[in-house]
Amino acid sequence: MRAVIQRVTEASCTVDNQVTGEIQQGLLVLLGIEDADTEEDLIWLAQKIVNMRIFSDENGLMNKSLMEVDGKVLLISQFTLFAATKKGNRPGFTRAAKPDKAIPLYERMAKELETHTGKKTETGIFGADMKIRLLNDGPVTIVMDTKNKE
């Protein structure tokens, strides 16, 4: 799994002019899933997301986690995080999991994040043409890959 995690003061997802999810302070998480991903990867990544100390404390230092600032998560599926770009000019997406594998893991990630935060995880719609708006705070953007957790 790959995740692009952005600290935001606000973020929203719109599909067909309808808002499907929106948050104020929290994290916008763009999630890419590949065939090799497991439940273990999902649990590890969810714990890292909610406990990562990337929010400012009273001294302006990144010492607080999502949990400590009472933030929320907007989770967006994004298969393009597994784009292969070495050959030619058209990216290939063969490493991205097909919907029959990716959808259950995406839904499970939303539930896992809810379990940790105690709040509803806001989401987009898997496979839809989504419009994402955000106000990146900092900017703070972290890229994580569960294949690099060692």
User: Mind telling me the catalytic residues?
Assistant: 80
Q: Where would I find the H helices in 9-80?
A: 39-51
* Contact (Cβ atoms closer than 8 angstroms) between residue 5 and residue 27: yes
**What is the phi-psi region of residue 129: left when phi exceeds 0, alpha when psi lies from -120 to 50, beta otherwise?**
beta
Amino acid present at 30: L
Rounded CA gap, 67 and 148, in Å?
24
β-partners of residue 14 are 19, 131
